Chain A
């Protein structure tokens, strides 16, 4: 961990993202799906929805930090709701 001053929180952050990417890749290979059109009127697959979720969550976290303050666990709850909405309706 000393190499390039890596820290555990950043390591966990990247492990979670890598884990998600691997899981979704495996899912895409094991259970292929046809893209669908949701409320954004664009064709999306599970992977696209994951991307929308991750980028959206980054903005939600930043907005929370800027408007509410550094209480990220609450922001993560909002992100989770957002993720569910994206996977259900987008």
Chain B
């Protein structure tokens, strides 16, 4: 059968194209434009060439922020992914409790970032916060505003609290899509619980888990509001993650050029990682299909 070739439908994409142009492409081009110039305000710009890129690549400050960011994203992924899978495996698969669990799990996801930050900022305070006060009463010296380790632990626990449910919900969706026949076959073969997980559940969840890891990586890599509200990047620079440093540079110091060069490198890292994840994800689909 011959298909009718009609490419007019492409015109329907035009509004999206326009929107994306104004919300993403033109701002990105502006950043590239700023990265090769210097300004002192009043809309006066001076050509700087690649100087800002050189400065940023040699800047210990940027490498430290990048290192901290990698650490943060790595740690939260290592905790959230296994924990999310564990929670999903132990959730009731059907019935009223399943619904209750789903609603409870999605609650943290509904809370705006700065509210989460404020909750934990108060929660961790030694004078009035339940967590800080309790730890203090137990004789543990806990102070997230002065101790680097405490600040990091607070941020990581907060992120785990906020986002593990996302991984759990996605893993749960993956688990629900496995037909009963697989479990019956496993039962006939007397497969152990571990083998059921390793050879049935994990492969069937791999697609959604890749999406979960991608989403969690992206979100944690560009995290700003929560650490900004809780620690403000402190103590010292201990929790100054990439975007906090970027905002300090661009808006605090009004160093538009270096900040633009910094943003481009930041963008390239995210672009590369997203592409790798996307490619792995689509190739997995093709192998399955």
Contacts and interface: CB of A to CB of B under 8 A. Distances in A.
B286 A7 contact: no
Nearest to B267: A58
Contacts of A7: 33, 36-37, 45, 47
Interface of B: 29-30, 32-34, 36-37, 39, 43, 45, 47, 49-50, 53-54, 57-58, 265, 268, 271-272, 275, 279, 283, 286
Interface string A21-65: 000000000000000000000110000000100010011001001
B36 A14 contact: no
B53 A5 contact: no
15 contacts: A4-B30, A4-B33, A5-B33, A5-B45, A7-B33, A7-B36, A10-B32, A42-B279, A55-B275, A58-B268, A59-B272, A62-B57, A65-B50, A66-B58, A69-B54
Given A7-B37, A43-B286, A65-B53, 13 more contacts: A7-B45, A10-B32, A14-B32, A55-B268, A55-B275, A58-B268, A59-B268, A62-B265, A62-B268, A66-B58, A69-B54, A70-B49, A70-B50
Contacts of A4: 30, 33
Given A42-B283, A62-B53, A6 B271 contact: no
| 4 closest Cβ pairs, A-B complex | A66-B57, A5-B45, A10-B33, A70-B50
A38 to B, nearest CB: 12
Contacts, number: 50
Contacts of B32: 10, 13-14
Chain A interface helix/strand/loop/mixed: helix
A85 to B, nearest CB: 18
B271 A72 contact: no
A9 interface: yes
A7 to B, nearest CB: 7
Contacts of A13: 32
A65 B51 CA distance: 10
A59 B58 CA distance: 15
Interface in A1-21: 4-7, 9-10, 13-14
B50 A72 contact: yes
B64 to A, nearest CB: 16
Given A4-B30, A42-B279, A9 B286 contact: no
Contacts of A43: 283, 286
Given A43-B283, A65-B50, A51 B37 contact: no
Nearest to A29: B7
A14 B32 CA distance: 10
A65 B283 contact: no
A10 B39 CA distance: 16
**Residue from A9, A10, A55 whose CB has the most chain B CB atoms within 10 Å:** A10
A60 B111 CA distance: 41
A54 B268 CA distance: 11
B43 A5 contact: yes
B39 to A, nearest CB: 8
